[in-house]
Amino acid sequence: MGVSVPPPDRPPLDPEEQRARTRYTLLNLTRIGGIAVTIAGLAGAREVIPLPYFLSVVLALVGIAAFFFGPPMLVKRWKAQDRGA
């Protein structure tokens, strides 16, 4: 029978810090998703997973584009929202 220890009290995050954490997480998820799609496309092109070759190449290219261009597009959108808000 273990004794449960309450978590340490943390002050609540202010809205700006919470927004920054959320955005940071979304940027990293975009990058990780791009890598996952690229790997799936490469696996299909190497016939590790059953995908048509054309679809595999398209997946790999979309994944690369998401990895490199997704985060800057998100940042651009967020900066525009912050200026308008």
At 4, is the pLDDT very low, low, confident or very high (cuts 50, 70, 90)? confident
Inform me whether the pLDDT recorded for 74 exceeds 90.
yes
pTM: 0.80
Q: Is the pLDDT of residue 85 over 80?
A: no
The tokens describing 50, both together, are: 């059953």
Residues 6+ apart with CB under 8 A from 38: 59, 60, 63, 64, 67
Q: What is the pLDDT of residue 1?
A: 59
Instruction: List pLDDT tens digits, range 49-61.
Output: 999 999 999 999 9
